[in-house]
Structure 1
Amino acid sequence: MSIGFDYGTANCSVATLIDGEVKPIPLVDEEFYVPSTLCAPTSEVVSEYLFRTLGIKPSDSVGENMLRRAIKLNAEEGLEVRGDEVKFGHEALNLYLEDPQDVYYVKSPKSFLGAMGLRDMQLSFFEDLVCAMMANIRQRAELSLEKEITQTIIGRPVNFLGRGGEESNIQAEGILRRAAQRAGFKEVEFQFEPVAAGLDYEASLTKDKNVLVVDIGGGTTDCSFLRMGPSWAGKQDRRESLLAHSGQMVGGNDLDIFTAFKQFMPEFGLGTQNQSGLELPTTQFWNPIAINDVQAQRKFYGHENRKQIQLMVKEALQPEKLGRLLELYQATLGYALIREAEQTKIALGDASSYEAKIQLLNEVVSIPVIKSELEAAIAVPTDKIKALVKEAINQSGIHPDVIYMTGGSARSPILRAAVNQVLPNTPIVSGNYFGSVTAGLARWADIIYS
């Protein structure tokens, strides 16, 4: 049977079409969403887990070399790779929060797809990460449906990265396709995420409309301008209905990163000076929280950076703040800061103020944040999202009848107001913020594979 598979930056979900109705598939008890996270004792465990536990072989010689290396390193560390060594979703997050230093944790590997300048081994490892997550989702879905799933439509952003162009997109889609095939899907196709979201909205239309779909996810924002309605429903060839596309790697993660940088990192030394009167390097405060930038993460958490941070503490005018940065490094707390930034963003959707709390080893850092400060902190990614809306309109050359906003971050009143500023007289509607892409992918799978 076939499913629609939203392999999202924040969450993964799947659905199928039964008797013309979209049926979300429960993945954990009655939950339809699994956070896009993975946790293991070490990064090398992931590759051996795929081979040893799931019987999934590497896709090429690079992967084979990486697997041999992983098995060797795991043996040297005395790690016996078992079926329960790799955790996913909430289990992965909970294990990481218990002891960040003792585990390998990754959130949103989709954010890294399409990154240029990476070595073949790094690309192969990303493929293993994605494959492990997809295999987990497929197994859970088959248990829920009690049927084998061999066909899938996977959602993809218009552009995986703002830089790299089509080369990035080809690389990222290739990783997703190979990972899905290794995970057991025999037939794999793709659909743009905003188009999929639009297909779900189209099912509710009783007359044709020009619809601007604005899909603000965890890692990307995509806009698709589409002709939609009864005249187009169910058609496999929709090339004439696609009026414009725009997309960039800017989404909920970026809002959280900018919030953490502007609001939290001053408590870790951002903006302070050393004894010579020089301001401390900004990159030391950006890199630990840039969870969607693999090079920034590697640079900050690399062994050689420890001495640099220790020197900064020694020379700082406010060493107590730089001491927190050193603790952030030692305990790998970047994800914890981003998680609190996300909570701050959610809270300030309804409230005018919020007190963020960051748990360190010997103290809890309390940081009051007001809504106007949050708006200022996320101004850069907000402006990028507005620019994408304008780009889609300019490409199409026409005014939309309606704006359909979807994606988890589209719930933000700040972002809805930003889109409204671009198109002040156009109605904004929304459906299932988290489920519309999955539902549209399920509808498209039914069209393609039926």
Structure 2
Amino acid sequence: MSVGLDFGTATCSVSHVVENKVRSIALNEGEIFIPSTLCAPSREAITEYLYRHLNISPMSEVGDKLLRGSINKNKTEGLDLIPDDIRFGRQATALYLEDPTDYYYVKSPKSFLGILGLDDIRYTIFEDIVCAMMANIKQNIEASLNKQVDETVIGRPINFHSKGGEESNIQAENILRRAASRAGFKHIEFQFEPVAAGLEYEANLTSDKNVLVVDIGGGTSDCSLIRMGPSWVGKQQRSESLLGHAGSFVGGNDLDINLASQSFMFEFGKDTNSKSGLPMPNMPFWECIAINDVVAQKTFYSRSNLRTLKAMQSSATQPDKLARLIEVYQNTLGHSIVAEAERVKIALSDCGNYTATIQLPSDSLSIPVSLQQMEKSIYWPVRKIQKLVKETLAQAATQPDEIFITGGSARSPIVRETIKSVVGDVPIANGDYVGSVTSGLARWADLCFG
């Protein structure tokens, strides 16, 4: 049996085709979308968990060495690992927030795929993390369907990372393939995410058209100009239908983080001065909300950074605002601030003004945000999306008949107007903002393996 798997930056989802109709598959307590998160007692616990509780062995000498080291370290530290020690999705975040200093937390592992310069150990660690998440997904699929699932088509962005080019893409796809294979999938194919989204749209076309597919995911955005329609349905060889494509490491997370930075963080001391008249250093205000940057998050929540934040507060002209930043540190609230920015972004898709609410232990902040203010806040990531559209049209050397836009941030009128500013007066359509890619992957899996 085959499924389409969207291993996304923000969420993961799976669908399959039943009697020519796409059906979503529940992955976790009935949830169709599971957040791309993992929480464990330690990094070493993940490697031992795969071997001890899932019977998943390493596939290399480096993996064998990593496993032996993990088991020895866990034994030395008295960690008697049980299956429930490793959590995924919302349960992972809930466990981590109980005490962030006690757990190893990974959010959006797709974000670090394609990073070049990794040594063999780090490469293998990344593979173990992805494998654990894929194994959990596979277990949930088979529990929901009561069937063994061996075949999958996995979605991938056109470019995993902004640097490294095709070398980065090869490295990222290799990690995904090896992780999926170790997790138990026997037949694995890949499909570009915007192409998959286009396949879902194509199913409803009654005539052939050139369609510009813009897929704005959580961590990446992709743009493709594709020939599609009845003449192409059911064809596995579609290289001639892809007229142009471009991708970049920018997505909905970047919009949310920039919105939080420009609209919220002044309430925490950003852009204020010290008593000496010098501006407060900007980096801590960025690091606390850069939830897609592992290094930035580790730096902000490090023990040594608390001394830095208290020193900033003692020298501040507005120490009450810096006290809020310390509360963010002490209660690990960076994720919740960005989550509120996402809610604002969604709300401003339908109205011109919205009041954000940020709950701190000591206070509740109400921050009004206008559509114009959001447009200014997300200017640079939106310009990057605009650049993708321009690159795609330049490659194709032709104009689209229609635009199909998908991804959570595709709801934003700012994003839509940005695309129209490049393409002109071309009809824009949208389907399921968050499910089009998964549905298309399911259709491609049915075509490949059916």
Whether TM exceeds 0.5 here: the answer is yes
Give yes or no for contact 1:101–1:331 (8 Å, CA) kept in 2: no
1:137 is the counterpart of 2:137: yes
* Pairwise CA distance, 1:228: 0.6
- The whole-number CA distance in structure 1 between the counterparts of 2:104 and 2:416 is 36
The structural deviation recorded for 1:101 is: 4.4
The yes-or-no answer on 1:7 pairing with 2:23 is no
Contact 1:101–1:330 (8 Å) recurs in 2: no
Pair 1:98–1:146, CA change in 2 (3 A): same
**Which residue in 2 is equivalent to 1:248?**
248
* Shift of residue 152, structure 1, vs aligned partner: 0.9
Residue-pair matches, total = 450
Q: How does 1:288-367 map to 2 (within 5 A)?
A: 288-367=288-367
Cα distance in 2 for partners of 1:332, 1:231 equals 53
1:385-424: per-residue Cα shift (whole Å, max 9, x none)? 1111111111111110000111122122221222222223
Q: Secondary structure at the match of 1:437?
A: helix
Residue in 2 that maps onto 1:123: 123
- CA 342–101 in structure 1, closer or farther in 2 if over 3 Å, else same: farther
Query: Helix, strand or coil for the counterpart of 2:399?
Result: coil
Shift in Å, 1:367: 2.4
How far, CA to CA, are the matches of 2:44 and 2:267 in structure 1? 34
Distance verdict in 2 for CA 1:124–1:323, change over 3 Å: farther
CA distance in 2, matches of 1:69, 1:300: 28
Q: Deviations over 1:309-360 (max 9, x none)?
A: 3332333222232233333333332222211211221222223333323333
Q: Distance in 2 between the 1:196 and 1:333 partners?
A: 35
Tell whether the 8 Å contact from 1:49 to 1:81 is kept in structure 2 after alignment.
Answer: yes
| Structure 1 residue 257: Cα displacement | 0.6
Residues 287, 300 of structure 1: 8 Å contact kept: yes
Is 1:197 the equivalent of 2:167?
A: no
Q: Is the 8 A contact 2:223 2:389 kept in 1?
A: yes
Q: Is the 8 A contact 1:16 1:23 kept in 2?
A: yes
Q: CA deviation at 1:42?
A: 3.1
SS at match of 1:289: coil
Q: Specify every segment of 5 or more residues in structure 2 that has no aligned partner in the other structure, as ranges.
A: none
Per-residue deviation, residues 105-154 of structure 1 (Å, max 9, x unmatched): 32211112112344433332222221111111111111112111111110
Partner amino acid, structure 1, of 2:258: F
The separation in 1 between residues aligned to 2:70 and 2:267, in whole angstroms, is 39
Looking at structure 2, the residues matched to 355 and 98 of structure 1 have their Cα atoms a distance apart, in angstroms, of 28
How far apart are the structure 2 equivalents of 1:356 and 1:135? Answer: 37
Deviations 1:23-79 (A, max 9, x none): 222223443221212223333322222222111122323333333333334334433
Alignment match, 1:435: 435
Mark the CA change 1:122 to 1:277 in structure 2 (over 3 Å): closer, same or farther.
farther
- Is the CA contact (8 Å cut-off) linking 2:210 and 2:225 kept in structure 1? yes
CA 1:445/1:41 → structure 2, altered by over 3 Å: closer, same or farther? same
Per-residue displacement from partner, 1:217-249 (whole Å, max 9, x unpaired)?
111110011111111111111111110011101
1:368 counterpart SS class: strand
5 Å matches for 1:83-94?
83-94=83-94
Q: Is the 8 A contact 1:258 1:378 kept in 2?
A: yes
1:22 aligns with 2:19: no
**Root mean square deviation, CA, Å:** 2.0
The SS at the match of 2:227 is strand
Q: Are residues 409 and 441 of structure 1, via their aligned partners in 2, closer, same or farther at CA, if it must alter by over 3 Å?
A: same
Contact 1:112 1:292 in 2 (8 A): no
Structure 2 contact 97–332 (Cα < 8 Å) conserved: no
- Give the structure-2-normalised TM-score: 0.94
Offset from partner CA, 1:150-172 (integer Å, 9 cap, x none): 11110000011112212221121
